[in-house]
């Protein structure tokens, strides 16, 4: 047995134990990318470095064996820094988007590509729920949103953007024709929250809090809720459309108190009677730092964002940590030029929808035009996870030319996105261990090292036995199944 | 050439079908087809244990292998350090232009020539050097490319056969004529000289033998010819050309045939008629060994690894034995035979001797040799390997090449002793494929040793058996790293693995493996013969013995030198090298190649020993010693070294694969005049990442050139950020102009490759800055120094 110290704690491990295994024994969690239990150590990513105190050296814990008397530190400031730098180097050559540009541009953060894929698969109800969850007013915004998302659509460089606004309008419209509300009503688990003002910001705050299980009461001085949404002309936003969406709010359990003017005295009363208060009314909230405010802005979708942010703040105050934040690291591919777009589109859409041809009236056909720019592994990607945890700086190596736009290899439902590959070699090992022929191999050398299929064999044939294990062992979204949808599970 | 399965089958029969034969098979295939045809590779996968994944990954890893057909001839432009500082980049561009290569192509439209860059041809004293097939051209100039190609095509039509195994003829009584046949001499034209010599001697009816000797080390004077006659002082001739041979021989050897004597007399009479000062007379070639410059070059040197330099015939085993060769091995062997109880006292005695000598590895890091041997000895295994690391890839270093070419028996003897001490069973010479002559000589020397009974089973009736084979590299610098070398010996990509376990514990196929550098092994027989004390007396306390350096760059007398450790950098430059060439000032000395660093002129007193060099930020490395003068830009030099390591990075670990790329991008920017504030800090940060976390020595030492340059020449980096190149080297940051001193000779206009100078006889010329490509040709050629650079 070997006696050693990890983070000052004495450990006893059998000979042949790696530092990583020894650290796991003490409960210390060391990040790894190129390591997978049961496979030979790759020792390539270097994210798992730890400090060996006696020599002061950083060593890769996945492959260095424990030695008698060692003094190992897994989470010092230097180690943290070293891991962050390694992650930043890997990210500097990461040619891929974590999130699609359209979603990044949406002030309300609508998961547009996911919604479009649901529509393309005929899962309209799911699509409507996604739109409702993120946009809070999917039908109304389907009419009045200034749709900044469409400006970012990568297809725009090729022919024209996917008609995103039209898509969530139709999805919500069809849904509300059949159903009463987007989500089934659940009993309020949390105390009451008051929202003053029922413009888009107030509605968004109310909706979001309602979805999180609060008992929400909205106070509106006018006879009907809607605030500035009522100011649109009948052509811009027909009154019945707004009413239909608001009906869904009511059925979701949101209480509207109309014709209720909230003055300063009333505000004091609301603060006393409710556990939380969101003021979505400019004349009441302006300049008040002691109040949680959400304001309507020129563009309704920005008002929605303001309302959602206020709602998240309420959640935070209630110490709920499962807040869906956008704080996760977001790798960005950057602009794609006209010259690159054809290459980029290869295997991302079927050849039939390479050209526009159809009109947005056929929602399914329109949604199929989406290029799936977002990652296939937005949740399981270890690189993204650690980049977030170690606070990697996206522009750490400024001035570096953007990596070339990668093509996508696809065979059946199996995808290989070379731009997201970190050359860890795990898939190569898995294929080898399954006896797959020809399997995969590293080709080239140095910075130009690539994972490829020998002699250009088809991908699925190359991995006939090991495909699914290769996908699951891949630390990023480089290997994936096109029909896998992490965000829905 | 069309694909023929029978040919591949024949190769497989020869090399075997095991996975580890892959690299040998690929070499054989490429020799057959000049490239690797797709069908041949497919056939290979189907009919051997070599998998498609292995074939694809190995072929694409080694730049020596080609998937596309080549032209009839391959032009290799050397991009080693010495060639680089003498303008290799311009030579490459000039060749490409001369061949009218389409963009992105490396082969001309007629399919005659394929152009490529090579890391180092190891002919640093002939810089810039170009190799066409197996013919090397030295001191190439960018306006002489067409002439060079013409010359090659002319000679390619009637090739001269190289004598690979020259017979041993010298008996020492009638004298001999020695001709250097190291790569430098061959590149200088010594093959032609030898042919002319033999013809002349035949015509004269002389029986005096011509002896091929090892590299003389005076590489800046090649080809060298030495005439040794009984009772007379030896006469050494330098830079001899084939057409001069007759006249030189005439000075020393009387004609035996009457007719020829008469012919010569007449010729001389005619010669006298037309003689003018422009004709070089034979005596002009004479290089006086006693003379000042040669004496200075040789004085201070101390030849151990290169013992009998310029005297010994590389492949004459009898001569090697006569001069004490194999006596060290034989005495070890005799001790083994008399060591009846076999308790290993002999092994321990050898290791103790090496330990006492203080010998440290000459490959770079300076690990104590005895310590390594002891680990291998202690490892318990049926099978142990001894590898001679001859994968010298440092641009600017060629000592391993010279040692292997000149003293193959010495290295073999060193391996035998090492194997005996560590119970080695199989030896491997790992030699760069760029050194065909070394491969050829070592292969032949091994054959002779087997015939003489020095290799094989039960050597000299002892219990010791040892076999040695040659494995060729394929153009990957990283394979000089021992774990990467072992991977490639096993037929895999040359990627290093984490140490420990060290090869001494777990090496080739998991067996304990001793990997020693060529020079290290060449020193072993000397130590065993003369005793540890004689060796440790030389050099410094911690760095015993001698070190071979290849002295090149901006220096008067370049060559291969061996000096005692502890000599100062300045003494090597001034005393042995004769100072900086062209009367310029010394700026720095680059030691250790891409893993080393620059020692500035102000630190010229630094002694060459492991610790002192490391402290100064450089590294012994394998022994490249490139002299830089004030016209060399340190940022550009750093960029050169980083572009080398970046290209040669194996791509396995993140710090080296991505870090070196990012570092190079910053240096590229600086050289292009696009530097930004903060670039220096980023370089330092990247250097720290690479040094602390890279997997192997290549990555850990790659930032050294950057760090030393920043330590001693930081102001040059800052100047580049401010858009200035103080040395006037970085093209994007300089402008050429002509002053009123111009005499209108038109030479500049004639050499200008881009037509930026209009030809105006007797007028002051002018450079069009927009058209100027900053090649510096006008600057070089101007007879009155009126071309200036700012």
A31 close to B (CB below 8 A)? no
Collect all residues of chain B within an 8 Å Cβ-Cβ radius of residue A93: 658, 661
Q: Residue B243 burial (CB < 10 Å; 0-12/13-18/19+)? A: exposed
Distance of alpha carbon B686 from alpha carbon B692, whole angstroms? 10
Residues 6+ apart with CB under 8 A from B388: B411, B414, B415, B427, B428, B429, B430, B516, B517, B518, B521
Q: At what angle do helices B88-98 and B145-157 cross, to 10 degrees?
A: 70
Q: Cβ–Cβ of A63/B498 closer than 8 Å?
A: yes
Q: Chain B residue closest to A429 (CA)?
A: B53
Shortest CA distance to B643 belongs to which of B229, B84, B77? B84
Shortest CA distance to B247 belongs to which of B280, B212, B220, B292? B280
Count of Cβ atoms closer than 10 Å to residue B341 Cβ = 6
Distance of alpha carbon A281 from alpha carbon A221, whole angstroms? 10
Q: At what angle do helices B38-46 and B52-61 cross, to 10 degrees?
A: 140
- Rg of chain B, C-alpha, whole Å: 27
Collect all residues of chain B within an 8 Å Cβ-Cβ radius of residue A463: none
Mean pLDDT of B508-534: 96
Distance of alpha carbon B691 from alpha carbon B686, whole angstroms? 8
Residue of B53, B497, B665 lying closest to A438 (CB–CB): B53
Distance from CA of A419 to the nearest CA of B (A): 14
Q: Are strands B385-390 and B513-517 parallel, antiparallel or unpaired?
A: parallel
Torsion A393-A395-A400-A406 (CA) sign:
positive
Distance of alpha carbon A65 from alpha carbon A20, whole angstroms? 9
How far, in Å, are A108, A193, A371 from residue A134 at the CA level?
6, 20, 21
Q: Chain B residue closest to A16 (CA)?
A: B501
Residues 6+ apart with CB under 8 A from B470: B428, B429, B431, B439, B442, B443, B446
Interface of B with A (CB under 8 A): 38, 41-42, 45, 51-57, 60-61, 63, 476, 493, 497-498, 500, 646-655, 657-662, 665-666, 669, 676, 682, 685, 689, 692-693, 695
In terms of pLDDT, which residue wins out, A326 or B143? Answer: B143
Distance from CA of B252 to the nearest CA of A (A): 57
Give ipTM to 2 decimals.
0.91
A80 close to B (CB below 8 A)? no
Collect all residues of chain A within an 8 Å Cβ-Cβ radius of residue B56: 441, 443, 452, 454-455
A437 close to B (CB below 8 A)? yes
Q: What is the pLDDT of residue A171?
A: 94
Helix/strand/coil for A277? strand
Distance from CA of A48 to the nearest CA of B (A): 11
Collect all residues of chain B within an 8 Å Cβ-Cβ radius of residue A85: 685, 689
Q: What is the pLDDT of residue A398?
A: 66
Q: Are A451 and A444 in contact (CB under 8 A)?
A: no
Q: Are strands B235-237 and B225-228 parallel, antiparallel or unpaired?
A: antiparallel
Q: Chain B residue closest to A63 (CA)?
A: B498
Q: Cβ–Cβ of A446/B60 closer than 8 Å?
A: no
Count of Cβ atoms closer than 10 Å to residue B1 Cβ = 10
State yes or no: pLDDT of B161 exceeds 50: no
Q: How confident is the model at residue B435 (pLDDT cuts 50, 70, 90)?
A: confident
Collect all residues of chain A within an 8 Å Cβ-Cβ radius of residue B682: 397
A399 close to B (CB below 8 A)? yes
Q: Cβ–Cβ of A89/B662 closer than 8 Å?
A: yes
Mean pLDDT of A343-372: 85
Top residue of B19, B37, B53 to mutate, by most chain A CBs within 10 Å, is B53
Collect all residues of chain B within an 8 Å Cβ-Cβ radius of residue A63: 498
Collect all residues of chain A within an 8 Å Cβ-Cβ radius of residue B60: 443-445
Top residue of A383, A429, A447, A452 to mutate, by most chain B CBs within 10 Å, is A447
Q: What is the pLDDT of residue B166?
A: 43
Q: What is the pLDDT of residue B642?
A: 94
Residue of A44, A63, A454 lying closest to B53 (CB–CB): A454
Q: What is the pTM of this model?
A: 0.89
A384 phi and psi angles, rounded to 5 deg: -65, -40
Collect all residues of chain B within an 8 Å Cβ-Cβ radius of residue A446: 646-651, 657, 660-661
- If residue B212 lies in a helix (H) or strand (E), which one and from where to where? strand B210-213
State yes or no: pLDDT of B735 exceeds 80: yes
Collect all residues of chain B within an 8 Å Cβ-Cβ radius of residue A439: 51-53
Interval A286-334: pLDDT, tens = 888 888 999 999 999 999 999 999 999 998 887 665 555 558 899 998 8
Residues 6+ apart with CB under 8 A from A207: A136, A137, A249, A252, A254, A307
Q: What is the pLDDT of residue B70?
A: 85
Interval A333-357: pLDDT, tens = 888 989 899 899 999 988 888 877 6
Q: Cβ–Cβ of B51/A438 closer than 8 Å?
A: yes
Q: What is the pLDDT of residue B102?
A: 84
Sheet holding B113-118, edge to edge: B113-118, B73-78, B130-132, B135-137
Average pLDDT, chain B: 87
Q: Cβ–Cβ of B653/A401 closer than 8 Å?
A: no
The size of chain A, in residues, is 489
Residues 6+ apart with CB under 8 A from B784: B741, B742, B743, B745
Q: DSSP letters of B37-100?
A: -HHHHHHHHHTSS--HHHHHHHHHH-TT--SS---SEEEEEE-SHHHHHTTHHHHHHHHHHHTT
Domains annotated on chain A, with CATH: 2-75 (3.10.20.740), 101-179+335-367 (1.10.1060.10), 190-306 (3.40.50.720), 402-481 (3.30.70.20)
Collect all residues of chain B within an 8 Å Cβ-Cβ radius of residue A44: 652-654, 695
Q: How many CB pairs under 8 A join A and B?
A: 132
B528 phi and psi angles, rounded to 5 deg: -70, -30
Distance of alpha carbon B444 from alpha carbon B20, whole angstroms? 23
State yes or no: pLDDT of A4 exceeds 80: yes
State yes or no: pLDDT of B466 exceeds 80: yes
Count of Cβ atoms closer than 10 Å to residue A400 Cβ = 16
Interval A176-235: pLDDT, tens = 998 878 887 666 667 789 999 999 999 999 999 998 888 999 999 999 999 999 999 999
Q: Cβ–Cβ of A455/B666 closer than 8 Å?
A: no
- Rg of chain A, C-alpha, whole Å: 26
Average pLDDT, chain A: 92
Q: What is the pLDDT of residue A289?
A: 85
Q: Cβ–Cβ of B654/A399 closer than 8 Å?
A: no
Helix/strand/coil for A193? strand
Q: Cβ–Cβ of B653/A446 closer than 8 Å?
A: no
Distance from CA of A392 to the nearest CA of B (A): 15
Distance of alpha carbon B340 from alpha carbon B337, whole angstroms? 7
Top residue of B36, B62, B657 to mutate, by most chain A CBs within 10 Å, is B657
Top residue of B38, B647, B651 to mutate, by most chain A CBs within 10 Å, is B651
Task: Give the HSE-up count for residue A448: Cα atoms under 13 Å, Cβ half-sphere.
Answer: 11
Compute the C-alpha angle B733/B665/A401, nearest 5°. 110
Q: Are strands B546-553 and B559-564 parallel, antiparallel or unpaired?
A: antiparallel
State yes or no: pLDDT of B570 exceeds 70: yes
Helix/strand/coil for A29? coil
Count of Cβ atoms closer than 10 Å to residue B650 Cβ = 27
Distance from CA of B679 to the nearest CA of A (A): 10
A443 close to B (CB below 8 A)? yes
Collect all residues of chain A within an 8 Å Cβ-Cβ radius of residue B476: 445
Top residue of A20, A89, A463 to mutate, by most chain B CBs within 10 Å, is A89
Interval A113-156: pLDDT, tens = 999 999 999 999 999 999 999 999 999 999 999 999 999 999 99
Q: Cβ–Cβ of B652/A44 closer than 8 Å?
A: yes
Q: Cβ–Cβ of B60/A443 closer than 8 Å?
A: yes
In terms of pLDDT, which residue wins out, B754 or B430? Answer: B430
Domains annotated on chain B, with CATH: 5-61 (no CATH), 73-157 (3.40.30.10), 176-288 (3.40.30.10), 317-536 (3.40.50.11540), 546-721 (3.10.20.600), 735-790 (3.30.70.20)
Q: What is the pLDDT of residue B275?
A: 44
Q: Chain B residue closest to A47 (CA)?
A: B654
Q: What is the pLDDT of residue B163?
A: 42
Q: Cβ–Cβ of A457/B52 closer than 8 Å?
A: yes
B281 phi and psi angles, rounded to 5 deg: -90, 155
Residues 6+ apart with CB under 8 A from A184: none
Q: Cβ–Cβ of A89/B693 closer than 8 Å?
A: no
Residue of B38, B497, B693 lying closest to A86 (CB–CB): B693
Q: Are strands A190-196 and A57-60 parallel, antiparallel or unpaired?
A: unpaired
Of the ranges A82-91, B318-327, B394-403, B426-435, which one carries the lowest mean pLDDT score?
A: B394-403
Shortest CA distance to B474 belongs to which of B43, B82, B28, B114? B28
Of the ranges A419-428, B78-87, B409-418, which one carries the lowest mean pLDDT score?
A: B78-87
Task: Give the HSE-up count for residue B475: Cα atoms under 13 Å, Cβ half-sphere.
Answer: 21
B180 DSSP β-pair partners = B213
Collect all residues of chain B within an 8 Å Cβ-Cβ radius of residue A423: 651-652, 657
């Amino acid at each position: 047995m070997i006696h050693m110290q990890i983070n000052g704690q004495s450990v006893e491990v059998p000979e042949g134990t790696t530092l990583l295994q020894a650290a796991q024994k003490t409960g210390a969690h060391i990040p790894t990318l190129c390591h997978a239990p049961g496979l030979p150590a790759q020792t390539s990513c270097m994210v798992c470095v730890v400090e060996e105190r006696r020599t002061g050296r950083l060593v890769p814990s996945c492959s260095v064996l424990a030695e008698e008397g060692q003094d190992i530190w897994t989470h010092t400031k230097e180690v943290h820094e070293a891991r962050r730098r390694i992650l930043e180097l890997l990210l500097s050559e990461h040619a891929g988007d974590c999130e699609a540009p359209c979603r990044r541009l949406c002030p309300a953060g609508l998961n547009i590509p996911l919604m479009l894929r649901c529509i393309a698969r005929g899962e309209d109800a799911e699509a409507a729920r996604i739109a409702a969850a993120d946009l809070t007013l999917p039908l109304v915004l389907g009419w009045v949103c200034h749709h900044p998302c469409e400006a970012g659509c990568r297809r725009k460089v090729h022919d024209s953007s996917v008609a995103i606004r039209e898509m969530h309008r139709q999805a919500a419209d069809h849904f509300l024709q059949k159903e009463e509300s987007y989500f089934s009503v659940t009993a309020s688990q949390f105390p009451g929250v008051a929202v003053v003002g029922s413009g888009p910001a107030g509605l968004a705050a109310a909706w979001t809090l309602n979805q999180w299980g609060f008992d929400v009461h909205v106070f509106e001085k006018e006879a009907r809720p809607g605030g500035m949404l009522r100011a649109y002309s009948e052509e811009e936003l027909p009154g019945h459309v707004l009413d239909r969406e608001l009906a869904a709010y009511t059925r979701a359990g949101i209480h509207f108190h109309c014709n209720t003017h909230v003055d300063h005295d009333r505000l004091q009363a609301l603060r006393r009677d409710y556990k939380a208060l969101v003021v979505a009314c400019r004349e009441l909230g302006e300049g008040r730092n002691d109040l949680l405010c959400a304001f309507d802005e020129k563009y309704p979708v920005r008002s929605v964002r303001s309302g959602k942010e206020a709602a998240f703040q309420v959640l935070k105050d209630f110490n709920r940590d499962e807040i869906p934040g956008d704080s996760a690291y977001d790798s960005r591919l950057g602009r794609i030029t006209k010259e690159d777009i054809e290459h980029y589109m290869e295997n991302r859409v079927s050849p039939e929808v390479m050209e526009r041809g159809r009109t947005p009236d056929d929602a399914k056909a329109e949604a199929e035009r989406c290029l799936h720019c977002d990652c296939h592994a937005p949740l399981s990607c270890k690189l993204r996870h650690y980049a977030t945890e170690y606070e990697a700086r996206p522009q750490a190596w400024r001035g570096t030319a953007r990596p070339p736009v990668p093509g996508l290899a696809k065979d059946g439902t199996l995808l290989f996105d070379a731009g997201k590959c970190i050359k860890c070699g795990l898939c190569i090992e898995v294929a080898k261990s399954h006896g797959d022929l020809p399997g995969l191999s590293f080709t080239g050398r140095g910075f130009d090292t690539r994972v490829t299929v020998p002699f250009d064999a088809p991908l699925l044939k190359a991995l006939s036995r090991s495909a699914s294990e290769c996908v699951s062992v891949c630390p990023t979204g480089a290997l994936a199944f096109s029909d896998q949808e992490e965000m829905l599970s | 050439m069309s694909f023929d399965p029978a040919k591949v089958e024949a190769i497989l029969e020869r090399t075997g079908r095991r996975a580890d034969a892959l690299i040998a098979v690929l070499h054989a295939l490429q020799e057959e087809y000049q490239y690797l045809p797709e069908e041949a590779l497919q056939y290979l996968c189907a009919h051997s244990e070599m998998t498609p994944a292995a074939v694809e990954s190995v072929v694409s890893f080694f730049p020596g292998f080609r998937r596309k057909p080549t032209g009839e001839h391959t032009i290799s432009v050397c991009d080693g350090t010495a060639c680089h500082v003498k303008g290799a980049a311009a030579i490459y561009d000039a060749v490409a232009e001369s061949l009218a290569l389409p963009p992105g192509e490396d082969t001309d439209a007629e399919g005659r020539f394929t152009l490529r860059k090579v890391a180092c041809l190891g002919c640093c004293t002939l810089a810039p050097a170009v190799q066409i097939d197996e013919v090397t051209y030295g001191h190439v100039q960018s306006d002489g490319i067409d002439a060079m190609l013409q010359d090659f095509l002319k000679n390619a039509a009637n090739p001269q056969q190289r004598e690979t195994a020259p017979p041993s003829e010298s008996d020492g009584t009638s004298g001999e004529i020695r001709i250097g046949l190291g790569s430098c001499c061959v590149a200088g034209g010594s093959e032609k000289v030898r042919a002319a010599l033999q013809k002349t001697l035949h015509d004269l009816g002389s029986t005096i033998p011509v002896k091929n000797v090892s590299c003389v080390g005076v590489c800046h004077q090649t080809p060298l010819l030495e005439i040794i006659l009984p009772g007379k002082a030896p006469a050494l001739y330098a830079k001899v050309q084939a057409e001069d041979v007759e006249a030189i021989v005439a000075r020393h050897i009387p004609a035996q045939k009457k007719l020829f004597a008469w012919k010569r007399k007449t010729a001389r009479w005619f010669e006298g008629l037309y003689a003018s000062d422009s004709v070089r007379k034979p005596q002009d070639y004479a290089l006086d060994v006693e003379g000042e410059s040669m004496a200075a070059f040789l004085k201070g040197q101390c030849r151990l690894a290169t013992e009998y330099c310029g005297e010994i015939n590389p492949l004459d085993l009898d001569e090697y034995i006569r001069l004490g060769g194999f006596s060290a091995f034989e005495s070890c062997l005799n001790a083994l035979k008399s060591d009846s109880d076999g308790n290993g006292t002999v092994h321990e005695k050898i290791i103790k001797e090496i330990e006492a000598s203080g010998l440290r590895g000459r490959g770079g890091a300076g690990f104590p040799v005895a310590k390594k041997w002891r680990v291998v000895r202690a490892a318990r295994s049926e099978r142990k390997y001894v590898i001679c690391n001859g994968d010298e890839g440092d641009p600017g270093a060629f000592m391993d090449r010279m040692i292997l070419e000149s003293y193959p028996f010495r290295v073999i003897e060193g391996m035998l002793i090492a194997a005996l001490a560590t119970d080695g069973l199989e030896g491997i010479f790992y030699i760069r494929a760029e050194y065909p002559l070394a491969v050829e000589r070592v292969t032949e020397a091994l054959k002779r040793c087997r015939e003489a009974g020095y290799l094989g089973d039960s050597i000299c009736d002892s219990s010791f058996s040892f076999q040695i084979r040659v494995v060729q590299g394929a153009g990957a610098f990283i394979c000089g790293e021992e774990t990467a070398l072992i991977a490639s010996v096993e037929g895999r990509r040359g990627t290093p693995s984490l140490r420990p376990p060290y090869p001494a514990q777990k090496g080739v196929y998991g067996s304990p493996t001793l990997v020693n550098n060529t020079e290290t092994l060449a020193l072993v027989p000397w130590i065993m013969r003369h005793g540890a004390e004689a060796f440790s007396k030389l050099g410094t306390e911690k760095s015993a013995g001698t070190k071979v350096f290849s002295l090149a760059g901006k220096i008067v007398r370049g060559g291969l030198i061996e000096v005692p450790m502890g000599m100062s950098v300045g003494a090597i430059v001034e005393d042995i090298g004769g100072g900086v060439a062209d009367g310029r000032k010394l700026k720095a000395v680059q030691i250790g190649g891409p893993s080393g660093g620059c020692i500035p002129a102000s630190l010229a007193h630094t002694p060459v020993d492991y610790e002192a060099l490391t402290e100064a930020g450089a590294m012994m490395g394998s022994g490249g010693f490139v002299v830089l003068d004030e016209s060399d830009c340190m940022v550009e030099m750093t960029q050169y070294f980083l572009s080398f390591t970046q290209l040669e990075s194996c791509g396995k670990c993140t710090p080296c694969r991505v870090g070196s790329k990012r570092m190079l991008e910053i240096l590229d920017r600086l050289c292009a005049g696009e530097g930004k504030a903060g670039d220096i800090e980023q370089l330092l940060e990247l250097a720290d990442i690479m040094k602390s976390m890279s997997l192997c020595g290549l990555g850990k030492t790659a930032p050294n050139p950057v760090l030393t340059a920043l330590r001693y020449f930081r102001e040059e980096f800052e100047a580049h950020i401010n858009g200035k190149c103080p040395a006037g080297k970085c093209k994007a940051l300089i402008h050429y102009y002509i002053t009123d001193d111009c005499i209108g000779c038109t030479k500049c206009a004639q050499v200008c490759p881009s037509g930026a100078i209009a030809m105006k006889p007797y007028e002051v010329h002018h450079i069009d800055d927009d058209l100027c490509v900053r090649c510096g040709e006008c600057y070089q050629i101007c007879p009155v120094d009126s071309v200036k650079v700012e």
